[in-house]
Amino acid sequence: MLCHVARERAAAPPQVLRLRTRPLRVALVGNPNVGKSVIFGRLTGRYATVSNYPGTTVAVTRGRSLVGAEVCELVDTPGVNALEGALSEDERLTRRLLVVGGEADLVVQVADARNLRRALTLTAQIAAFHKPAVLVLNMIDEAWARGISIDAPRLSSDLGIPVVEMVAVEGRGLSALCEALPRAAVPATPEMLDAAERAAWAHELAGRVRRVSPLMLVRMQETIGRWTRQPLTGLPILAVVLYVMYAFVGVFGAQTLVGLLEGGVFGRGINPASVWLADRFVPFAFAREFFVGPYGLVTMGLSYALAVVLPVVTTFFLMFGVLEDSGYIPRLAIFSDRVFRMMGLNGKAVLPMVLGLGCDTMATMTTRILGTPKERLIAILLLALGIPCSAQLATIMGILGGISFLALLTLFAVVLGQMVLVGWLAARALEGDRSAFIMELPPIRWPRLGNLLTKTRMRVFWYLGEAVPVFLAGTALLFALDKLNVLASIANLGEPIVTGWLDLPASTAQVFIMGFLRRDYGAAGLFDLARSGQLNGVQSVVALTVMTLFIPCVANFLMIVRERGVRVASAMLAFITPLAVITGAGLNHVLRAFGVQF
């Protein structure tokens, strides 16, 4: 979307709009979860994932827009809480854009209208860079719903910069922002030496321009939000959330939708039609088997990707979006802070952990939001060890959901127990400190359907673009390995461990190897084994436990190499692999010794 504004250019300050040899660079800066990415998408026509927690944007995103005759390059920066002192990687990245000689010519500070004092504290820090700025009061509708009103003209007068009220998700206030850019100016703030002085100034200024009226809705939101953070009420709420996710993803997605697609669309439509076409138009048996055989591109690759994994991933992304936009995930971070402290982390670590339920590779990157190298290293280790990606989680719910809820609880208890133990040991073995835990809480609110559908659609498109080609490549690799008799050799090499220690079918070794190439492919392989009756209840729990704790996929391993180096990534690989096998063997022994039957 181009931002066209008609005005007299002579009225603009010379430091903002002038003849340039390059586009005007406008940096979108603000605290986490204030809507920067939404505004960026509205102005440039590009979509960036919008989440109700910090850490989603871990690198700058660039796009171009047109303001009158001025071409602007917009830079969507990570959410920051400070621009000086002990800074996280995201905060240092944003600071580099704003320093003298940095890329940014002009700053658009995006603020949450519901938390003006925090925004003004950041405004005082932005002013120290002497860059022209505009202040956007986003989510003004939610501020009004909570009885909060802000005197924007008075605030603009006191700061000496344009102040724009906006509802970014609806596009309201966008034209006012475009009109305000040429009037940007350096914020007029008094000289302040430390954070305490800035906080006092922000508190005093916010008190002059902000009014709050008590409303029933506000009290209800605050009550529900408080319940989610307290142990007596937070645990039952968490249990309800997990059960709803299990019912929606594990039952509706992994059983109902998978049954419709696999048994109906593929089982009675696409697969028989593909076999019929191959028999008539593909002359060589080798080629026919490549497309529609046991390891065929259509009968296995597309069937796994679109009929088995896609419906569960889609329902997971939809449910995950509800938790994001409702404001529950930041409260889960506060609720889980005590547990993470045992592992040398704080509640903020729940954010990459929850993101890991979508994709461990991207979650590994978002560990940059943690404050110390020790915290980032522990978080990366725990992600690689025990956080199942969306495809794995879908398989877990799909297989164990059809067996019993007790089987599901057993797996999660073992995996969480291992994560806590490894984290506890790592916190004491590694040198370094834990950072302070500061978390901004968005209000509890009903998610917007349009946002949910957009977010889910973009994530599903990402899955289709990333996973389907890998499924097809993996199928072709399996086909080649089968023809070269390599799969049988792998099964023979792994037989003493897989069939002995783990008491699993020999073919499970092939699935574990494919899980390293791509976790969702290994997950689909286990799903196929369980569905065909090759795994009983105990074997399913053992196999899924090993798969969950098993070595990370290649993509995640390479991301660990990028973040921590080859030596650290290799050490994690050498530690996690035997730990997963030993844990699975121990679990198998205990379940059989006590005669447990799922």
Query: Which tens digit of pLDDT belongs to each residue from 554-597?
Result: 667 877 887 888 899 899 999 998 999 999 999 999 999 998 88
Question: Are 247 and 187 members of one domain?
Answer: no
Quick check: is 218 in a domain? no
Q: Which of 7-21, 254-268, 348-362 has the lowest mean pLDDT?
A: 7-21
User: Strands 133-138 and 163-165, how do they pair?
Assistant: parallel
Place of tokens 């190499």: 561
Quick check: is 1 in a domain? no
Q: What would the mean pLDDT of 202-210 be, rounded to a whole number?
A: 92
What is the identity of the amino acid at 405?
Answer: F
- Looking at residue 491, its pLDDT comes to 66
End-to-end CA distance of the chain: 55
Which H, E and C letters describe 165-195, residue by residue? ECEHHHCECHHHHHHHHHHCECCCCCCCCCH
| Cβ-contact 468, 306 below 8 angstroms | yes
Q: How many residues does the chain have?
A: 598
Question: Are 478 and 543 members of one domain?
Answer: yes
Question: Are 463 and 584 members of one domain?
Answer: yes
- CA nearest to 327, candidates 2, 53, 21: 53
pTM of the full structure:
0.61
pLDDT at 12 over 50: no
Distance CA 137, CA 173 (A): 10
Question: Are 195 and 320 members of one domain?
Answer: no
pLDDT at 366 over 70: yes
Distance CA 264, CA 436 (A): 53
Quick check: is 224 in a domain? no
Consecutive H or E run containing 28 = strand 24-30
228 or 474, greater pLDDT: 228
What is the identity of the amino acid at 379?
Answer: A
* Domain extent for 273: 232-432+453-593
How many structural domains are present in the chain? Answer: 2
Distance CA 554, CA 386 (A): 16
Residues whose CB is less than 8 angstroms from the CB of residue 14 and which lie 6 or more positions away in sequence, other chains included: none
Quick check: is 389 in a domain? yes
pLDDT at 274 over 50: yes
For 506, the 3-state DSSP assignment is coil
Q: What is the CATH number of the domain that holds 174?
A: 3.40.50.300
pLDDT at 338 over 70: yes
* Band of residue 325 on the pLDDT scale cut at 50, 70, 90: confident
pLDDT at 66 over 60: yes
Residue 212, token pair as written in the block: 């709050």
Q: Average model confidence (pLDDT) for the chain?
A: 82
Domain end, chosen from 213, 241, 258, is at 213
pLDDT at 385 over 90: yes
Give the sheet arrangement for strand 70-76, strand by strand. Answer: 61-67, 70-76, 24-30, 106-112, 133-138, 163-165
